[in-house]
Amino acid sequence: MSDVTINAREIINDAIEAALLNEDINQFRAEFLKIHPYDQSEFFEAQTKDVRYLIYSYLSPEEMAEVMEHVERELQGEFIVEMNPTYAAGILAKMATDDAVDILNDLDKNKVASYLTIMPEDEADEIKALLHYEEKTAGSIMTTEFVVVSIDMTVKEAMRHLRKVAPDAETIYYIYVVNHDRQLVGVISLRDLIIAEGALTIEDVVNRQIVSVSVGDDQEDIARMMRDYDFLALPVVDFQNHLLGIITVDDIMDVMEEEASDDYSKLAGVDVDSVDQNPVAAAGKRLPWLIILLFLGLFTASIIARFEETLEQVALLAIFIPLIAGMAGNTGTQSLAVAVRGITTGELQKRGILKTIMRESVTGIITGVTCGLAIWLIIFIWQGTFFLGFLVGLSIMITLFVATISGAVVPMLMDRLNIDPAVASGPFITTINDIISITIYFGMATMFMRFLL
């Protein structure tokens, strides 16, 4: 972004702040409403509660609805709750239905019932229809604001209908075609509709090769489908092929961000939490994993204790424990990240599980041999002992191979058991590989002790 653009935005924000300070409603509206809704939301989020109350009094529910649609998801519910209930209900009624449902899903059920009672009946009914769908499914993220035409309409009638309903539709680039039972039978692009002869019927120009999703489909699968087909929107149908709604590309972008954040948090071994979340609540989310890892760590310690005699005879072996365990953990996490990404994007299914495991096996051998030879040479030069370098190098070679395989296989196995593969988190894989690497290292050291003494 250029300095000119940044300076222009700062000048506008200063003018808006000055209007608020002077409580000049006309100046505020003139400056605030001429900037993009995203910039409006950025300005709004930065204000104190008292200033936000002033903004509520200066903007209509319809104007505020456009701002709220661009506010950070985590803050939307907080802002809605602080408003006057009637004003808040008016905003929710003017927002895109799917966006309003997202906010209401995060609120207390009593508040939701209150807002639905206050808002106009038609808007309330549309929101109620989406609220009962399970979270993270097509039904929970679809919108009911789209353009639909009957197959027996003429092109001229369809254009007249489009002009009438377009202002309330979330997108008009696709016009969906239904029969008398409201079953989805095809789609027409806006371009095809515009260039078609007015006397033709919709049946003459409809594209019947349509891709749709079921109302219960998982949002992550839908995101992959929209990415693969490059659609701007996807129709949502029930088991009898009745058209229920559409999912637009902006909704899918939110889903992709949400899923990426969710997978990242699981790879870190925690649930997603905000940076300003209550420390007690944040600790409560992190502790379960940490307790599990604590017990696994104790198991690692018990393995080392079993090889106490080996350590007593060659104390130098202890120096390389962090090296071997760390390398195993790092390699396993790398392999895990590749496997989880392949499962999430669908690349694993295309490539095949066996091919993926074979590729990771070869990768493990190459990295293991390379690192093993390198550490062998370093220890030989550093300590002047040939066999100690050979032992550590061989241990690393075997450990990296096993760690690479486990990092790939564990998430695949979890996916087969219908468990989220991201749950095979970095800390979990690291701890498991610690146990494996320590066992291999001390097992080999015990086996070849006579060469070390």
Question: Using one digit for the tens of pLDDT, what is the confidence trace for 227-256?
Answer: 888 888 899 999 899 999 999 888 888 777
**Residue 2 confidence (pLDDT):** 44
In which residue ranges of the chain is CATH 3.10.580.10 found? 148-262
**Residue 150 confidence (pLDDT):** 94
pTM of the model: 0.57
Banded model confidence at residue 135, pLDDT cuts 50, 70, 90: confident
Give residues with Cβ within 8 angstroms of 93, minimum separation 6. Answer: 61, 100, 119, 120, 123, 124
Query: For the chain, what is the radius of gyration of the CA atoms?
Result: 30
Nearest to 426 by CA among 357, 332, 327, 294: 332
CATH class for domain 148-262?
alpha beta
Q: Give the CA distances from residue 195 to residues 47, 156, 159, 337, in Å, rounded to whole numbers and listed in that order.
A: 48, 11, 11, 48
The yes-or-no verdict on residue 1 having pLDDT over 60 is no
The yes-or-no verdict on residue 274 having pLDDT over 60 is no
List Cβ<8 Å contacts ≥24 apart for 116-119. Answer: 116/89, 118/85, 118/86, 118/89, 119/89, 119/90, 119/92, 119/93
Banded model confidence at residue 275, pLDDT cuts 50, 70, 90: very low
pLDDT digits (tens, 9 = 90+) for 183-207: 999 999 999 999 999 899 999 999 9
Share of the chain above pLDDT 70, in %: 85
The yes-or-no verdict on residue 312 having pLDDT over 70 is no
Range in 79-88, 272-281, 365-374 the model is least confident about: 272-281
Which amino acid is residue 406, in one-letter code?
S
Pick the CATH number of 279-452 from 1.10.10.2840, 3.40.50.920, 3.40.91.10, 1.10.357.20: 1.10.357.20
In which residue ranges of the chain is CATH 1.25.60.10 found? 36-132
What is the rounded CA–CA span in Å between residue 344 and residue 340?
A: 6
In which residue ranges of the chain is CATH 1.10.357.20 found? 279-452
pLDDT digits (tens, 9 = 90+) for 74-93: 899 999 999 999 999 999 99
The values of phi and psi at residue 214, to 5°, are -80, 150
36-132 placed in CATH 3.40.718.10: no
**Residue 3 confidence (pLDDT):** 47
Quickly count: other Cβ atoms within 10 Å of residue 292's Cβ: 14
The yes-or-no verdict on residue 268 having pLDDT over 70 is no
